[in-house]
Amino acid sequence: MIIDKAEVIVTSPDRNFVTLKLTTNDGHTGLGDATLNGRELSVVAYLQEHVVPLLIGSDASRIEDTWQFLYRSAYWRRGPVTMAAIAAVDMALWDIKAKAAGMPLYQLLGGASRSGLLAYGHASGKELSELFDSIRSHQDQAYRAIRVQTGVPGLKAIYGIASQAADAGGGEARYDHEPARRGAKPMQEDWDTRSYLRHLPGVFEAVRNEFGPELPLLHDGHHRMTPLQAAKLGKELEPYDLFWLEDCTPAESHEALKLVRQHTTTPLAIGEVFNTVWDFKDIVRDQLIDYVRGAVTHMGGITPLKKTMEYASLYQIKSGFHGPTDISPVGMAAQMHLGLAIHNFGIQEYMQHGAKTDEVFEQSFTWQNGLLHPGDEPGIGVELNADEAGKYPYEQAYLPYNRLADGTMHDW
């Protein structure tokens, strides 16, 4: 099982995706997701210039050794570009091994620990009525857990809030891959934490009153609060029994979480911008979080994320893998296999990809009664349709950013 071909495929059906395809001399193929939202081509260069030459001629069956070689031999460790590139290789090798074994990947990872994965969707609205409609629409699509993001009076545009006006096609409102996000420059949005903090608890009170106590509700703070602000918010949200408060403070500061934790029992989730188990080491050991938000695509692949979750299990900390649409169908399927196999699965974020993406990536996962399942095709269960992929060349696209009213740059 020698790797004799490694292709880096860039395609932009509804948004940009970077995929590594490995082929072995005995005819097996494997796919890996290397998509780094807004910085995609840096991973393409890392793979093409530095990793592909190392892979050609190597043994595809040696997953752990290949991971260690790519991580340790470079000398320069960690970082989103490096770890997305290593992740793609790792996923592709697991795909090949599972296909060669004739098994869906979750079987190789230890077999299923549950029948399906509870998943949450993204409801949002500028006003309460829009938000309620969005929650109902998600419930109609079978979601049994809902992330709630809301507009804030006085702020014009906030990330994570879909708006019908932004949806030129007239279909369901989206905020994650509407054409407005593409362009030579990122879009500026505005932010005011005090207005947000004044507004949010009332929104959760209204949502609980309307939808009852059972529905699991989540909220993403997008790293925007100081520790004291986050502590205050966590405390004020306690009556509404959140499933989690995500990314309440900037991800770099573990001490911030300590302060938040001292003041609130609202569960905390963090880690979508983390790259390695080292980023989780102290906050897991100190029990400062309840959910690991890493993604296979940004944590260096299935191999290290599985280890991270085994370590987290010692502290009763569960998974909540990052699953926005900038994780490609390959990355999503890979983490569905992992989530099905590990004991300490918590919840899976699931934003549905667009129709064009689903034509480029042929997938075998299922979504039924609010549960995801990766399917039983051998491997990860995703194949890339090269003809479809070729129709959509890369387009420059950026995440938006925040400035305060006086023009100061603010945390994302």
81, 39 contact by CB (below 8 A): yes
CB of 219: closest distance to ligand KDG in angstroms? 10
Residue 337 binds which entry of Mg ion, ligand KDG, none, CB below 5-8 Å type-dependent: none
Residue that has been written with the tokens 């004044």 in this structure: 198
- Given 46, 71, 120, 159, which residue is catalytic? 159
**Whole-Å CA distances, 124 to 146, 175, 207, 352, 390:** 10, 10, 11, 15, 33
Paired tokens of 216:
């699991």
* Binding string, residues 203-232; x marks residues near ligand KDG by CB under 6 A: -----------------x-x----------
- Cβ-based nearer residue to ligand KDG, 227 or 324: 324
One residue of 12, 16, 24, 37 binding ligand KDG per CB under 6 A: 37
Question: CA–CA separation, 399 vs 412, rounded Å?
Answer: 9
Question: CA–CA separation, 143 vs 128, rounded Å?
Answer: 19
Question: CA–CA separation, 366 vs 382, rounded Å?
Answer: 12
Number of residues near ligand KDG (by CB under 6 A)? 9
Residue 290 binds which entry of ligand KDG, Mg ion, none, CB below 5-8 Å type-dependent: none
Q: Which one of the spans 208-216, 237-245, 319-327, 386-394 is the region binding ligand KDG (CB under 6 A)?
A: 319-327
As beta bridge partners, residue 145 has 120
CB of 222: closest distance to ligand KDG in angstroms? 6
Contact positions with ligand KDG (CB under 6 A) in 124-183: none
What angle (nearest 5°) sits at the alpha carbon of residue 325, between those of residues 245 and 146?
A: 35
Residue 349 binds which entry of Mg ion, ligand KDG, none, CB below 5-8 Å type-dependent: ligand KDG
For β-strands 371-373 and 117-125, DSSP reports them as antiparallel
CB of 54: closest distance to ligand KDG in angstroms? 28
As beta bridge partners, residue 190 has 403
One residue of 176, 192, 220, 326 binding Mg ion per CB under 5 A: 220
251, 273 contact by CB (below 8 A): yes
Residue 222 a catalytic site member = yes
- Cβ-based nearer residue to Mg ion, 71 or 143: 143
18, 8 contact by CB (below 8 A): yes
Contact positions with ligand KDG (CB under 6 A) in 324-363: 324, 326, 349
- Cβ-based nearer residue to ligand KDG, 40 or 383: 40
CA dihedral 177, 178, 182, 188 (to 10 degrees): -100
Contact positions with ligand KDG (CB under 6 A) in 248-307: 272
DSSP class of residue 27 equals S
Residue 353 a catalytic site member = no
Residue 326 binds which entry of ligand KDG, Mg ion, none, CB below 5-8 Å type-dependent: ligand KDG
Helix (H) or strand (E) holding 25: none
Paired tokens of 24:
């072995």
Residue 319 sits in the site that holds ligand KDG (CB under 6 A): no
CB of 11: closest distance to Mg ion in angstroms? 24
Question: CA–CA separation, 103 vs 261, rounded Å?
Answer: 42
Q: Which residues are at the interface with ligand KDG (CB under 6 A)? A: 37, 220, 222, 272, 322, 324, 326, 349, 399
Residues belonging to the active site: 159, 222
Q: Which residues are at the interface with Mg ion (CB under 5 A)? A: 220, 272
